[in-house]
Amino acid sequence: MPITIKQIAKKANVSIATVSRALSGDSKVREDTKKLVLKIAKQLNYNPNILARNFVKGKSNIIGLVLPDISDEYFSEIIRSIDDTSYLNGYYTMVMSSHENRSLTESINTMMNSGIVGGFILLIPFINSEIKKALNSGSVPFVLISGDDDIGDFDVVTTDNYQSAFRMVEFLVVKGYKKIAHISGPPDNNDASLRKKGFLNACSKYKIDVKKSWLAKGNFTMESGEKACSKLLNEKEKPDVIFAANDMMALGCYKAIHSIGLKIPVDIAITGFDDILISEYANPSLTTIRVDTDRIGKVAAERLIEKMNGSINKTIQKKEIASQLVIRSSC
């Protein structure tokens, strides 16, 4: 019982083709017929059947968004950012979380083959050959959002993990720190390894001697940060600052440090990476790196829409979104 162009056509005494043209606006329709059709459409509260439109056009104006198997505080920001951008360009956003019941490849296959989306964005913490294969199996355009752009011949939007970690070290060096420790993230995580690499290369550039025992291992959890920090504090030569590969581990360091009565940043300084909500309010507030999630979503969506429109640029594009050093009181 929703209004269709047929009813408009009848009421306006024109053919459905004219109605369609008047509504889509781009074809040649006489000004007054167009006005009439628009008026009647409005009057009847007509809304185009999007499913029918997508179906007949053979392409969908729905953008798929594949989320990985983890809950992350910044996902809702990315989702919102992508949805905003999509909306402004006349697209809708469909989410698809991967989890125990639905694997990532299954999600990709649905995106590729069901026709339900015209393109998709994949939030992907790591890549493997199975995923690559799935991504190469179809012709639906997509863009990746990842921590690493070295993941094959795909369009990808990344954070500048390496650069930011590098700059963090530079900042610490300028501040006068000499003994810098690092707590790294999971070894199979791209963000983690790039941050570590940035750390190491910066240290090497600025002639900071990194003791092996100062390269602690964590897994991005607060607990692992706490544990790693305790270990560092037990070294006979203690670092004077710890650069954790993410904020959660940095806050774990807070715990370890406070528990033995030391003070940040007086006794030891801490820095993190991510600028999660809590970091601003921690005591002391945490110096860290803010990822521009808003921009990441926007850039990814814009690039995807470009591809969906079949516009010019066919070459693979790697876009790195700059993060920002957020200087607070922890160092």
Partner DNA sequence: ATATATAATGTAAACGTTTACATTGCTGTT
Partner DNA sequence: AACAGCAATGTAAACGTTTACATTATATAT
**Which residues of the chain form contacts with its own copies (CB under 8 A)?**
1-2, 45, 47-52, 54-55, 60, 62, 67, 71-73, 75-77, 79-80, 83-84, 87-88, 92-97, 99, 101-102, 109-110, 113-116, 139, 222, 251, 255, 258, 276-278, 281-283
Residue closer to its own copies by CB (options 6, 258) is: 258
From the list its own copies, DNA, none, partner contacted by residue 158 (C-beta under 5 to 8 A by kind) = none
From the list DNA, its own copies, none, partner contacted by residue 322 (C-beta under 5 to 8 A by kind) = none
C-alpha distances (whole Å) from 130 to each of 17, 104, 137 are 46, 10, 11
Strands 288-290 and 324-326: what pairing?
Answer: antiparallel
Distance between CA atoms of 243 and 288, rounded to whole angstroms?
9
Residue closer to DNA by CB (options 41, 270) is: 41
Question: Tokens 């530079």 identify what position?
Answer: 170
Query: Shortest distance, CB of residue 65 to DNA, whole angstroms?
Result: 23
C-alpha distances (whole Å) from 138 to each of 108, 128, 284, 329 are 9, 17, 50, 50
Query: Shortest distance, CB of residue 90 to DNA, whole angstroms?
Result: 12
Q: Please list the residues that pair with 241 across neighbouring strands.
A: 180, 269
DSSP 71: -
Structure tokens that stand for 70 in this block:
């983890």
Distance between CA atoms of 291 and 161, rounded to whole angstroms?
9
Distance between CA atoms of 83 and 235, rounded to whole angstroms?
49
Distance between CA atoms of 293 and 79, rounded to whole angstroms?
9
Residue closer to its own copies by CB (options 250, 269) is: 250
From the list its own copies, DNA, none, partner contacted by residue 29 (C-beta under 5 to 8 A by kind) = DNA
From the list its own copies, DNA, none, partner contacted by residue 13 (C-beta under 5 to 8 A by kind) = DNA
Is residue 119 helix, strand or coil? strand
Residue closer to its own copies by CB (options 15, 113) is: 113
Binding of DNA at residue 310 (CB under 7 A)?
A: no
From the list DNA, its own copies, none, partner contacted by residue 14 (C-beta under 5 to 8 A by kind) = DNA
Q: What is the dihedral of CA 159, 162, 165, 171, to 10 degrees?
A: -110
From the list DNA, its own copies, none, partner contacted by residue 244 (C-beta under 5 to 8 A by kind) = none
Query: Shortest distance, CB of residue 71 to its own copies, whole angstroms?
Result: 6
Structure tokens that stand for 324 in this block:
């920002």
From the list DNA, its own copies, none, partner contacted by residue 222 (C-beta under 5 to 8 A by kind) = its own copies
Binding of DNA at residue 89 (CB under 7 A)?
A: no
Instruction: Write the CB contacts of 31 (distance below 8 Å, at least 6 apart in sequence).
Output: none
Residue closer to DNA by CB (options 58, 310) is: 58
Query: By C-alpha distance, which of 3, 33, 32 is closest to 19?
Result: 33
Query: By C-alpha distance, which of 197, 147, 206 is closest to 215?
Result: 197
Interacting residues with DNA between 20 and 79 (CB under 7 A): 20-21, 23-24, 27-31, 33-34, 48-49, 52-53, 55-58
Note the residues at the interface with DNA (CB under 7 A): 2, 4-6, 13-18, 20-21, 23-24, 27-31, 33-34, 48-49, 52-53, 55-58
